[in-house]
Amino acid sequence: MLDTMEPAMKGDHQHKMNKYACGCAIVASMISIIFGYDTGVMSGAMIFIKEDLKINDTQVEVLAGILNLCAFVGSLLAGRTSDWIGRRYTIVVASFIFLVGAVLMGYAPTYAILMTGRCIAGIGVGFALLLAPVYSAEISSPSYRGLLMSLPELCISLGILLGYISNYFFSHLSLTLGWRMMLGVAGIPSLALMAGILKMPESPRWLVMQGRVGEAKKVLLLVSNTKEEAKYRLQDIKMAAGIDASCTDDVVKIPDDKKGGKGVWKEILKPSPPVRWILLACIGIHFFEHATGIEAVVLYSPRIFKKAGVIDKHKLLLATIGVGLTKITCILVATFMLDRAGRRRLLLTSVGGMIVALAILGFSLTIAEHSKEQILWALCLSIVATYTFVAFFSIGLGPITWVYSSEIFPLRLRAQGASLGVAVNRLTNAGISMSFLSLSNAITIGGSFFLFSDVAIVAWCFFFFLCPETKGKNLEDIEELFTRKSSSADIELKTKAELSSS
């Protein structure tokens, strides 16, 4: 970190939340509510879609997973698009895509049209998962960046909960109308977001990347607590973009190798050692977020509870609402802990708890499935283990995946590097959501969760050895953490020294 940064880092203003920056992050994160709703509502809607459209389990799996396959395409498009037209206008594009998808799913007279709407919504998901955390990262100060960057995951959980609640209330309508209402109402927040996002400023880091330094300075004055803080943040961003920190021009020419989107894929495909480590950490954390089974629980929780012994449809949907409540409560707790406890500590604690909860869930479901009569303790243990798994996931791995992968890339690589992580995330999600029913039929539902527990053990080891702490670091300084010259102990000591001096 530059010596010139020290005066700014010592001031109390660095630890205060800027209300304008917080407001911008909240609005940007609203797109994640739409994605979360689309995920959560499908878990209950599938029960009624299967009955109304007479589709089989394979078609149900495809319907559940196609959203994520299309999100894979959307995430790859989003990185280049956001470097081209900016973060803000790309969110507008994503909102419009969500709107079209919701209208088609709400109309859906046939399975083919339903799938078309789901595919279009999936492309919007790919945009949303990249843009909300990247935008939040680029307007935040280091002292509260974790909080603002975890808002998208909080909003996803809120959307999932709203989807579960929608399942319960619309399930009382007629069979043909109920599930269509569940899916179609997602178009309403899309319209609201398209209007709200245009009143937000563009990312200052994207503006500098385009050479529009004067505009970036104005935005930084809005999202910083003092002029001094804005000045030092601008200096760091300018240096990362290849601009002399002493340059006072409002418009400058950016070197081609520093421009976002130009030559980025070449650098990603032939990375330097630090960038290779960053890519490994990003891809790994996105892979393990879903390979540990969260999508199986969120999307198929009615089936899990049915296997445990809950038969009535309305009771199944009520039990599923408990999953949503647990998820949003624990992510809310994590939101305020990220900048205090740190990413690494929460991540390891989270995955450790998930390992135990998954093993218990596998055991209880195995007992329930192989018993000829309903066993009350196995039913209760299955529900408790499910909620516990969701709770541990939500205090760490869930929000930290998006925070961590969006902050570790250098400025020039951030949008497209993060989009690669999101692409892996969506492919893994699709693999789990489209294979869980087949997997549980092949090795039993209890065996599936024992398998997820084994994957979680591998994930814990991966995070322990390959993910250094990033708490309190400027985005422009994080690349230094991913060098073999610095041991984990040195990195931890350096971080503690910086935090104590601030």
The domain boundary residue, chosen from 215, 232, 252: 252
Residue 221 contacts residue 227 (beta carbons within 8 Å): yes
The verdict on 278 and 374 lying in the same domain is: yes
The verdict on 67 and 156 lying in the same domain is: yes
What's the residue count for the chain? 502
The verdict on 240 and 290 lying in the same domain is: no
The verdict on 226 and 96 lying in the same domain is: yes
pLDDT at 348: 96
Residue 494 contacts residue 1 (beta carbons within 8 Å): no
Q: Is residue 13 part of a domain?
A: no
Longest dimension (CA), the chain: 77
Q: Is residue 382 part of a domain?
A: yes
The verdict on 55 and 204 lying in the same domain is: yes
Residue 186 contacts residue 41 (beta carbons within 8 Å): yes
Q: State the Cα–Cα distance between residues 401 and 146, nearest whole angstrom.
A: 11
The verdict on 345 and 407 lying in the same domain is: yes
Residue 361 contacts residue 389 (beta carbons within 8 Å): yes
Domain count, the chain: 2
Structure tokens at 458: 């591998």
Close Cβ partners of 339 (under 8 Å, ≥ 6 residues apart): 143, 144, 145, 146, 147, 471, 472
Q: Is residue 149 part of a domain?
A: yes
Predicted model pTM: 0.73
The verdict on 285 and 224 lying in the same domain is: no
pLDDT, tens digit only, all 502 positions of the chain? 333 343 334 444 455 778 888 888 888 888 888 888 988 888 888 889 988 999 888 888 888 888 888 988 888 888 888 888 998 899 889 889 989 999 999 999 999 999 999 999 989 888 887 888 888 888 888 777 778 877 888 888 888 889 889 988 898 889 889 899 999 998 888 888 888 888 889 999 899 988 899 999 999 999 988 888 888 888 888 887 778 877 888 888 776 655 555 567 778 888 888 889 999 999 999 999 999 999 888 878 878 888 887 777 777 778 888 888 998 899 888 888 888 888 999 999 999 999 999 999 999 999 988 887 778 888 889 999 999 999 999 999 998 998 898 889 887 788 788 888 888 988 898 889 888 988 998 999 999 999 999 999 999 999 999 999 988 787 778 888 888 654 444 444 444 444 444 4
Residues forming beta bridges with residue 462, ordered by sequence position: none
Q: Is residue 170 part of a domain?
A: yes
The verdict on 51 and 138 lying in the same domain is: yes
The domain boundary residue, chosen from 191, 225, 252: 252
Structure tokens at 208: 């500098």
| Torsion angle (degrees, nearest 10) of CA 274, 278, 280, 281 | 130
The verdict on 287 and 341 lying in the same domain is: yes
pLDDT in tens, 269-317: 888 888 899 999 999 999 999 999 998 888 788 788 888 877 777 777 7
The domain boundary residue, chosen from 187, 222, 252: 252
Structure tokens at 155: 């909003």
Q: CATH number, domain at 228?
A: 1.20.1250.20
The verdict on 269 and 221 lying in the same domain is: no
| Torsion angle (degrees, nearest 10) of CA 191, 41, 28, 331 | 160
The verdict on 211 and 306 lying in the same domain is: no
Q: Is residue 9 part of a domain?
A: no
pLDDT at 160: 85
Q: State the Cα–Cα distance between residues 105 and 114, nearest whole angstrom.
A: 5
Q: Is residue 257 part of a domain?
A: no
pLDDT in tens, 109-123: 999 999 999 999 989
Q: Could you give the count of Cα atoms lying within 13 Å of 263 in the half-sphere of its Cβ?
A: 7
Q: Is residue 370 part of a domain?
A: yes
Q: Is residue 11 part of a domain?
A: no
DSSP-derived secondary structure for 407-421: HSS-GGGHHHHHHHH
The verdict on 414 and 276 lying in the same domain is: yes
- Range of 389's domain? 264-496
